[in-house]
Amino acid sequence: MDIEKDLHDTNLKLTERDKSMLAGDYGAAVRMAMSILVQMAEIYRADTLLDISAAHIDSTIYIGEAGLEYAERFAELGAKVAVPTTLNVSGLDEYRWKEWAVPVDWAEKALRQMQAYASMGTIPTWTCAPYQTIYKPAFGDQIAWGESNAIAYANAVLGARTERYPDLLDICCAITGRAPAVGLHLTENRAGEILLQLSGVSERIQKEDIFYPVLGTLLGKVAPNRIPVVEGLTVQPTEDQLKAIGAAAASSGAVAMFHLVGITPEAPTVEAAFQGRQPRSQIVVTPDLLQETYYNMSAPADAKIDLVAVGCPHFSLNEFAELALVIGGALRRGERRHPDVTFLVTTSRSMLAAAEDAGYLESLRAFGAKIVTDTCVLATPMLPPNVKHLMTNSGKYAYYAPGMLGVEVTYGSLEDCVRSSITGKNERNKFAWR
């Protein structure tokens, strides 16, 4: 395709350095990355490209031959990233995949894809929660991140600026250090659009972890592709609770940015969150609405549980601490995991090492919990076919698992998950939303 000719039909203005990259002066890999980036920038109707200071690559997940070929093509051309670049989950737990149902040929290809991205000078974090590593971006940083939950967290909670980078484009930004100057990179596109006012949602509810995936799911449903603003939170959510909002909202509604008034950095007030504009619509969030959302996140089943899966997004050190506390308490009461239930935690290598150092893994191992790093149940074909009912405390797993894995899902608290793994039955508490 004749890039130079097509450029005449667009408003995209390239710097001399951009043109030089496009002409191949920086090598074949940069040329290929820049040619893809330019074509995508035209589709986005960008006027310019901008410099980025970091990238996070979601293309690492093996989903087929094309993505593998793409990664290996870049690797063969000697591609190297131009900015600090973390890697999202892959399609394989490199060290434990044989303990699961992962087909050998899948494992070989997923591993090749990991090796291709690792060869580009990237940081092999292999996690969907890069914001819980030392590579967390700062307020105002222009970055190119893939992975929907990470995008929402970066924009909303950190005040960094990234569009929703799709697979394959993310690595082009990383190699060139450039991104289209559109969307959430620009201040005017970061204003709130829909106002959600909490009404009658007590501090007791707001302090519970179970509240946040429900709130996130609701945000995604009422503000798909919009920027929701939540007013009325009176407690300071934890980092993991904020993570849970973004993950659920990005799943149920492709939300890439949200504001929590008085909490997230671009929303000190309602006016600031909306940049002085009027909301397109307003919704009152009552305990009844939360309860309805909560019930809709689960199958209407009272069935036996086959798998408890926690760690979506990847488990943090604090979440390991909490789980160790809950499981430790159960073990002291003489309770044991039901032999027919698998208890799975998905996390990153670095968080697993930190949990080991902190002594959080002893009770998990005594309970027979399994831990998987680098990937998760949605990114690798690890589950055996006898898994029919999955229980989780994750809004994202709850949203995607029925469609992607063909299983029934029950969403509940971490305590509910542990209790269910002991009895083998759905033990979800009827959480009191009033």
Within positions 401 to 420, which residues make up the interface with ligand F3S, using CB under 6 A? Answer: none
Measured from the CB atom, is 111 or 235 closer to ligand F3S? 111
351 is a contact residue toward ligand F3S (CB under 6 A): no
- Write the binding mask 74 to 93 for ligand F3S: x where contact by CB under 6 A, - elsewhere: ---------------x----
Residue 50, burial from CB neighbour count under 10 angstroms (0-12, 13-18, 19+)? middle
Tell the smallest beta-carbon distance from residue 346 to ligand F3S (Å). 5
Residue span binding ligand F3S (CB under 6 A) among the ranges 6-14, 172-180, 295-303, 375-383: 375-383
CB of residue 119 to ligand F3S, shortest distance in Å? 22
Residue 376 engages ligand F3S in binding (rule: CB under 6 A): yes
C-beta of 85 vs 90, nearer to ligand F3S = 90
Closest approach of ligand F3S to the CB of residue 351, in Å: 12
Candidates 396, 409, 412, 415; binder of ligand F3S (CB under 6 A) is: 396
- Closest contact distance (angstroms) between CB of 210 and ligand F3S is 17
Stretch that binds ligand F3S, among 32-40, 309-317, 366-374, 423-431 (CB under 6 A): 309-317
Segment interacting with ligand F3S, rule: CB under 6 A, options 23-31, 40-48, 114-122, 312-320 = 312-320
- Site size toward ligand F3S (CB under 6 A) is 12
Task: Please report whether residue 107 would count as binding ligand F3S according to CB under 6 A.
Answer: no
Residue in 86, 155, 298, 346 binding ligand F3S, rule: CB under 6 A: 346
Task: Report in angstroms how near the CB of residue 309 gets to ligand F3S at its nearest.
Answer: 9
220 lies in the binding site for ligand F3S (CB under 6 A): no
Question: Using the rule CB under 6 A, which residue among 149, 264, 393, 426 binds ligand F3S?
Answer: 149
Among 213, 216, 220, 313, binds ligand F3S (CB under 6 A): 313
d(CA 270, CA 262): 8
Q: Which residues from 238-267 bind ligand F3S, rule CB under 6 A?
A: 247
3-state SS of the chain?
Answer: CCHHHHHCCCCCECCHHHHHHHCCCCCHHHHHHHHHHHHHHHHCCCCEEEECCEEEECCCCCCCHHHHHHHHHHHHCCCCCCCCEEECCCCCCCCCHHHCCCCHHHHHHHHHHHHHHHCCCCECCCCCCHHHCCCCCCCCCEEEECCHHHHHHHHHHHCCECCCCCCCHHHHHHHHCEEECCHHHCHHHHCCCEEEEECCCCHHHHCCCCHHHHHHHHHHHHCCCCCEEEECCCCCCCHHHHHHHHHHHHHHHCCCCCEECCCCCCCCCHHHHCCCCCCCEEEEECHHHHHHHHHHCCCCCCCECCEEEEEEEEECHHHHHHHHHHHHHHHHCCCCCCCCCEEEEEECHHHHHHHHHCCCHHHHHHHCCEEEECCCCCCCCCCCCCCCEEEECCHHHHHHHHHHHCCEEEECCHHHHHHHHHHCECCCCCCCCC
Question: Is residue 379 a contact residue for ligand F3S (CB under 6 A)?
Answer: yes
Instruction: Rule CB under 6 A: say whether 128 interacts with ligand F3S.
Output: yes
Q: Which is nearer to ligand F3S, 206 or 298 (CB)?
A: 298
Smallest distance from the beta carbon of 348 to ligand F3S, in angstroms? 10
344: buried, middle or exposed (CB in 10 Å: 19+, 13-18, 0-12)?
Answer: buried
User: Using the rule CB under 6 A, is 378 a contact of ligand F3S?
Assistant: yes
Task: Point out which residues bind ligand F3S (CB under 6 A).
Answer: 89, 128, 149, 247, 312-314, 346, 376, 378-379, 396
